A and B are shown apart, each in its own frame.
Chain A
Amino acid sequence: MIVKCVVWDLDNTLLSGVYLESGAQPPPPDPAMVTAAAQLRDRGIIHAIASRNPPEAARYAARVTGLDFAASECGWGRKSEAVRRITADLGLAPDAVAFVDDDLYERAEVSSAVPEVLVLSPEDMAEAVGWPEFSPAVVTAEARRRGEMYAERRRRLAEARAFAGSRDEFLRYCRTRVTIAPAAAADVPRLHELSVRTHQFNTTGEAVPEPALRELIGSPAHQVTIVRLSDRFGDDGVVGGCVVELGPGRAWTVTVLMMSCRAMGRGVIQALLAWLARSAAQAGAATLAVPCLVTPRNVPLRLALATAGFRAAEDSAPGGSGGSPPRDDTAGGSGGSPPRDSTAGGAGESSSAEGSPGEPVALFSRSLTGPPPELPDWVTGAAARGASGGVTEP
């Protein structure tokens, strides 16, 4: 499991001394730990603070280390509780988190309360920079900016809390821009990364290998799309993507749909689903189908589908009779319910919706009759392949 976030103790760990015992001159940062943290940041790993100190200590540490901290928990409660809050706040799984503390007691307390967390001493950390857990295979431009983007997110959330108005008004106030465009070869590493890292907004729960993505981008029967997001607080880069299979009988099937949870609540998934329905309708498609794994992890995606007017076929109830068994139709379309890619074959198929055993796939779809859905005004969308006329808006 790749570590996505390192939670740091401050006293005698990230700082070379004890903050509250140092009088007017707080201790300088620990050079070895700051070097390790900066290396990890450049690999897209974010940082957080859990310290038995007043909140000023976290601000001081951010200033003297030059690092961005996505979350900080300063107080005198248990470190395991601080780690749990940080994990929940950032939407991470505990096994994607490492905790570094010089105090043996604190390390034991976190290990026993949250055993999934990778617990390290500062000495371990200096060495662990070379471990596979801290060495993601792909480091994209988005990954390198991840720490900064969490800091931007904190500023955005603070303004959202103070903002009197609807969510859409806030998105406009933020000058939110969602840009939907065809994927190019240069987007392959980021799309692969999204397929590995996204869970809450992911229809398949499966990694899509880079060769498969390149094949899909070049395939005339597929359309691979990327979604970019930016606003006045910063540029989030590519936050989502999808693969549409342009099937026979004017059927559009979204075989992969994924979005970073960082983009949650910012109108992105709503924009993408509206754009898909609009593009499919303009291309003369008869149906727009989204096979989607039904799992507790991607409930946010099901909420987005419900909001956008998608409905699942009656016979694909979760955990019930008639749910599509996940592994009965992997070999090319002969098996069963969710229509999936049976045209390109081979590696291109790894995008199909195979779940863990016991997790059914439901076939969501949306009617394309009637007027095409409105695109939110923060969206700029390129014309889809086969669509008559662009949907580009200012």
Chain B
Amino acid sequence: MTGGETPDVVGELREILARATGREELLGLSEQTPLFGDGVGLDSLTGTLLLREVHRRFGVDVAGEDLNLDALATLGTLAAFISGRPDGGALS
């Protein structure tokens, strides 16, 4: 699991986000846009859907490992967090 797989992770995450929020335009989300606040506007509902799907697809329990959920800062930080985990980046 090297950084080389990150682009695939990013693509998967865009799909998960678009589905969790019902917003197609997130398929084109930049890796630097904040997921909370004015960026994507993730809330507890859409955030929970995202975390659940990340756990299911990548086997990474972000909430269990990252107390402050800093991994959810941007698409890029979340992809890096997943790819940096032993099971991360393994697309099922």
Contacts and interface: CB of A to CB of B under 8 A. Distances in A.
A319 interface: yes
Interface string A298-317: 01111110110001100011
B86 interface: no
A251 interface: no
B2 interface: no
Interface stretch (A20-28, A178-186, A263-271): A263-271
Q: Is the interface on chain B under 10, 10 to 19, 20 to 34, or 35 or more residues? A: 10 to 19
B77 to A, nearest CB: 13
A167 B63 contact: no
Nearest to B52: A299
A362 B67 contact: yes
Given A269-B44, A307-B44, A302 B37 contact: no
A299 B43 contact: no
B68 A311 contact: yes
A166 interface: yes
Contacts of B36: 306-307
Contact of B43 (A296, A304, A312): A304
B28 interface: no
A306 B69 contact: yes
Contacts of A234: none
Contacts of A269: 44
Given A166-B41, A167-B41, A270-B43, A300 B67 contact: no
Interface in A255-287: 264-265, 267, 269-270
B34 to A, nearest CB: 11
Contacts of B37: 307
B47 interface: yes
Contacts of B48: 200, 299-300, 303
Contacts of A316: 67
A270 B43 CA distance: 9
B72 interface: yes
B45 A264 contact: yes
Contact of A318 (B42, B44, B64, B72): B64
Interface centre among B43, B46, B51, B65 (most CB of A within 10 A): B43
Contact of B69 (A264, A296, A302): A302
B4 interface: no
B68 A167 contact: no
Nearest to B63: A299
Interface in B26-79: 36-37, 41-48, 51, 63-65, 67-69, 72
B33 to A, nearest CB: 15
B45 A296 contact: no
A157 B58 CA distance: 29
A307 B46 CA distance: 12
A167 B43 contact: yes
Given A300-B48, A306-B36, A317 B67 contact: yes
Contact of A299 (B41, B46, B51, B68): B51
12 contacts: A270-B43, A296-B63, A299-B63, A300-B45, A303-B43, A303-B47, A303-B51, A303-B69, A304-B44, A306-B69, A306-B72, A312-B67
Given A304-B44, A317-B67, 13 more contacts: A166-B41, A265-B45, A299-B48, A299-B51, A302-B63, A303-B42, A303-B48, A303-B72, A306-B69, A306-B72, A307-B37, A311-B68, A362-B67
Minimum-distance CB pairs A-B, first 8: A265-B45, A303-B47, A300-B44, A303-B44, A304-B44, A299-B63, A306-B69, A300-B48
Interface of B: 22, 36-37, 41-48, 51, 63-65, 67-69, 72
